[in-house]
C-alpha cells in the first residue's frame, strides 16, 4: 500500500490530535478529581504522618473514600487549629475525636471506628490513687488544647477543682509530666504508651505508668461540620463504607495490624 505525503500528513495530524485530546482528558480528570481534605494531628498509634497510610485509621479512611472515587488529603496541625479549620469549612473533616454533646451541636459524628480507653498517666514515684473526679482536688493536671476528657473532668475544670495546664501537644505534656511539673495527664492508653516509647529512653519509660481506673471508654469518630453543605454526603459515604469493612472483617484486620506495629514498620494490612 502506497502512502502519499498527503495521506501521511493527514494520519500524523490525526494521531497528534488524538494524543492532544487524550492528554487534555487526563488533565481535566486531575483538575476535576474530588478530594476530601482531612485535618488531623500526630496521635500514635492511631494516626501518624510517619506511618504507612497514615496509620490504621488513615488506611480505613483511604480505603472507604477511594472505593467511592474520592481521593483523600491529610493535613497535620495542632489539634485546636485543625478543629477550627473544619468548623470554618476550610477543611472537610477532622479525626479521630470523641463525640461529645458539645461537639454534636457543631458537627456530624461518624459511626464509631474503634473504642479508646482514657486513663490518667503519672510518674511511677508519685502515689496517685483515684476513684472519683473529686480525688483530683488541688492537683496540677496536664491537658491538650482542643481535647475532650469527659463531662465530669470538663465540669471540674470549669469549677477549678484542680489546676489544668492546657498546652498545644500531647508530646509536650508527657515531657512536662516526666519533669514532675504536672502530677497527672489524661490520655488514651494505647496512644500514651506509644508516645512514651517514642519520646523516652528505655530507662526513662519505667518512670511513667497509668492508673488502672479508666476515666472513660469512648469510641473515636470523624467530625464533619454541620454548616458545610458537603458534610452530609461525605458522612454517608464513610458510614456506608465502614459498615462494609466491618462485615468483611477488614476493619478488624486494620486494627490488629495497628496493635502489632505493622504500620510503623512500613507495612499495612492487606499488603
Q: Kindly report the average pLDDT of the chain as a whole number.
A: 89
Same domain, 107 and 133: no
Are residues 205 and 139 located together in one domain of the fold? yes
Highest mean pLDDT, choosing among 32-36, 41-45, 214-218, 247-251: 247-251
Query: Are 190 and 129 found together in one domain?
Result: yes
42 with 75, same domain?
Answer: yes
**Residue 173's closest CA among 145, 203, 143?**
143
Both 121 and 191 in one domain: the answer is yes
Which domain covers residue 175, as residue numbers? 116-217
Is residue 102 scored above 80 in pLDDT?
A: yes
In a domain, 13, yes or no: no
Q: Same domain, yes or no, for 207 and 86? A: no
Q: Are 92 and 231 in contact (CB under 8 A)?
A: yes
Query: Is the domain of 78 the same as that of 204?
Result: no
Question: Per residue in 18-39, is it b (16+ CB within 10 Å) or e — as a string?
Answer: eeeeeeeeeeeeeeeeeebbbb
Q: Tell me the sheet residues that pair with 142.
A: 165
Residue 7 lies in a domain: no
Residue with cell 483523600: 72
pLDDT 10s digits, 121-170: 999 999 999 999 999 999 999 999 988 898 899 999 999 999 998 998 99
Please report which helix (H) or strand (E) contains residue 202, including its range. helix 202-205
Regarding whether 134 and 204 lie in a shared domain, the answer is yes
In sequence order, what E strands does the chain have?
A: 35-40, 71-76, 93-97, 107-109, 114-123, 140-144, 163-167, 185-188, 208-210, 216-225
Residue 19 pLDDT > 70: no
Which pLDDT band holds residue 68 (cuts at 50, 70, 90)? very high
Among 118, 58, 144, CA closest to 94: 58
Distance CA 100, CA 118 (A): 14
Assigned domain for 229 exists: yes
Number of separate domains in the chain:
2
The grid coordinates of residue 89 equal 469549612
Residues 241, 251, single domain; the answer is yes
Mean pLDDT of 47-73: 96
What CATH number did the domain enclosing 242 receive? 3.40.190.10
Query: What confidence score (pLDDT) does residue 26 get?
Result: 46
Same-domain pairing of 120 and 211: yes
Percent of the chain with pLDDT over 70: 86
| DSSP 8-state assignment for residue 112 | P
Quick one: 213 and 122 in the same domain? yes
pLDDT at 264: 81
Q: Does one domain contain both 61 and 104?
A: yes
pLDDT, position 2 = 52
The three grid cell numbers given for residue 92, joined into one nine-digit string? 472537610
Amino acid at each position: 500500500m502506497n502512502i502519499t505525503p498527503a495521506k501521511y500528513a493527514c494520519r500524523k495530524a490525526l494521531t497528534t490530535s488524538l494524543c492532544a485530546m487524550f492528554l487534555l482528558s487526563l488533565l481535566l480528570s486531575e483538575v476535576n478529581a474530588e478530594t476530601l481534605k482531612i485535618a488531623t494531628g500526630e496521635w500514635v498509634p492511631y494516626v501518624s504522618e510517619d506511618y504507612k497510610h497514615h496509620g490504621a485509621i488513615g488506611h480505613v479512611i483511604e480505603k472507604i473514600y477511594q472505593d467511592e472515587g474520592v481521593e483523600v488529603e491529610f493535613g497535620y496541625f495542632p489539634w485546636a487549629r485543625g478543629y477550627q479549620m473544619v468548623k470554618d469549612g476550610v477543611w472537610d473533616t477532622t479525626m479521630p475525636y470523641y463525640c461529645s454533646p458539645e461537639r454534636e451541636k457543631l458537627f456530624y459524628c461518624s459511626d464509631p471506628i474503634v473504642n479508646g480507653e482514657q486513663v490518667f498517666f503519672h510518674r511511677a514515684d508519685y502515689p496517685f490513687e483515684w476513684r472519683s473526679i473529686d480525688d483530683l482536688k488541688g492537683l496540677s493536671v496536664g491537658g491538650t488544647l482542643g481535647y475532650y476528657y469527659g463531662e465530669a473532668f470538663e465540669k471540674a475544670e470549669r469549677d477549678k477543682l484542680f489546676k489544668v495546664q492546657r498546652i498545644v501537644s500531647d508530646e509536650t505534656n508527657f515531657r512536662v509530666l516526666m519533669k514532675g511539673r504536672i502530677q497527672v495527664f489524661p490520655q488514651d492508653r494505647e496512644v500514651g504508651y506509644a508516645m512514651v516509647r517514642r519520646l523516652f529512653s528505655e530507662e526513662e519509660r519505667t518512670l511513667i505508668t497509668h492508673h488502672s481506673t479508666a476515666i472513660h471508654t469512648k469510641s473515636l469518630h470523624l467530625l464533619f461540620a454541620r454548616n458545610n453543605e458537603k458534610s452530609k454526603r461525605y458522612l454517608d459515604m464513610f458510614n456506608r463504607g465502614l459498615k462494609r469493612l466491618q462485615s468483611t472483617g477488614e476493619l478488624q484486620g486494620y486494627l490488629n495490624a495497628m496493635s502489632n506495629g505493622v504500620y510503623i514498620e512500613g507495612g499495612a494490612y492487606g499488603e
